[in-house]
Copies of this chain bind each other. A is one copy, B any other.
């Protein structure tokens, strides 16, 4: 290969961080230099060097100039007016690899690692990243490719090494309102003597993520070392996964997936398993709620996902078990951070919602059995003992304290919104369906998760018999406006459906 020429251009700096190493060349001049958008150039300022991606503009920089954003100008210590040596350099290896995937090829371990490495080094443009995710979506990933991707994502960030065993974890594929089992399962498991370094997400589209709910009781933002200390001290934690550098590449992939609302299955699997792998989990229980109004409505899709989790988990040396659970309605009564935190405390005290209690015990029991701590068939009983004895509550208070919260917190200490409206039944009969999506929309409209005290409090469950005027649910908000908006929404959508035959009519 012949080197294309090198050029000397005058730096024009822009005090803006773009998160990418981009330089802007004058459009006509870039043409003269044989450079096109997306080409990689190597920059030299005195002895400092870096590489960057070419963009061009006919207004931003004049001929003879090169536009540098903070990311790049800091990299080579360039100030306005510095003379920068620019030469074209080879494009990132990822481009050919992405092309291969586009053309239907299978990617190997090294190829996927190369793409992830180059993503982490900011070597890929937004366009290339989008092409990558789109190709993964259209072409799909084999289980081997998913394993490679998981390992590459794990390798892209920090890893929690507790130096103890067994380390266990759980995951829920989501979509069920109020389903805060993690906050009950973690103290049970930790009280049983296992280590469970649980990281959780904040809400993206739901009324509360586990991190949002835990934050009502204690801080959730920690550095990796701090998290390690909490877990070694109490055997568990419930922290926000976003503040640590675990599975770092995942954030960059999620950014693109969110932007195009794409969720390629292999990427989803890799994303979840990489998070487990990077905290050193050896045994993982996965909860896949299925049902009308849940994230996954189709049992066959849930079954396929479960099989993939098992197979890929095995290849990653993790013992994984999946539970397809009933997900066609909210679990627990509260929906929204504070309301859910109250439910959690009540369950730990022994007087919480029965469905949330039951589901948490089933999952905790499964995890106790999976890791061999408890013999087969006895997990549920052991978990129930730990809960009933008050050890789980005690453990939760230890964790809350270790994370910097008030360990003596009582249910009534948790503030909820001052504005409340009751939504009542207009019919008599049996409740056929409570819709997760609609209830979540109402809770979000009331202000959750931003307003911690806002949300919905369910008074009924599927199967309950109600009379006209019975309260179906409360809407709780921290402002009158939000309450009115949520109430209006509840009038336009059927959150609670009475028994019927026909679901929908097309005409």
A residues in contact (CB < 8 Å) with B = 2, 14, 16-17, 19, 31-34, 36-38, 57, 59-60, 95, 98-99, 102, 125-131, 133-135, 137-139, 202, 204-205, 255-256, 258-262, 441, 444-445, 450, 485, 488-489
Contact = CB atoms under 8 A, between A and B. Distances in A.
Contact of A99 (B16, B19, B261, B489): B261
Contacts of A138: 102, 134-135, 138-139
Given A31-B202, A138-B138, A57 B450 contact: no
Nearest to A31: B202
Nearest to A36: B258
Contacts of A450: 32-34
Contacts of A134: 102, 130-131, 134-135, 138
A5 to B, nearest CB: 8
Closest 9 CB pairs of A and B: A38-B259, A130-B130, A127-B130, A134-B134, A131-B134, A126-B126, A127-B259, A32-B450, A17-B59
B261 A95 contact: yes
B57 A259 contact: no
Nearest to A451: B32
Given A138-B102, A445-B2, A260 B128 contact: yes
A31 B202 CA distance: 9
A358 B260 CA distance: 52
Chain copies in the assembled complex: 2
Interface centre among A38, A127, A258 (most CB of B within 10 A): A127
Given A16-B16, A126-B126, A36 B444 contact: no
Given A2-B441, A14-B14, A17-B60, A258 B139 contact: no
B60 A125 contact: no
Nearest to A493: B2
A259 B95 CA distance: 10
B17 A16 contact: no
Contacts of A261: 95, 99
Nearest to A128: B260
B34 A444 contact: yes
Contacts of A205: 34
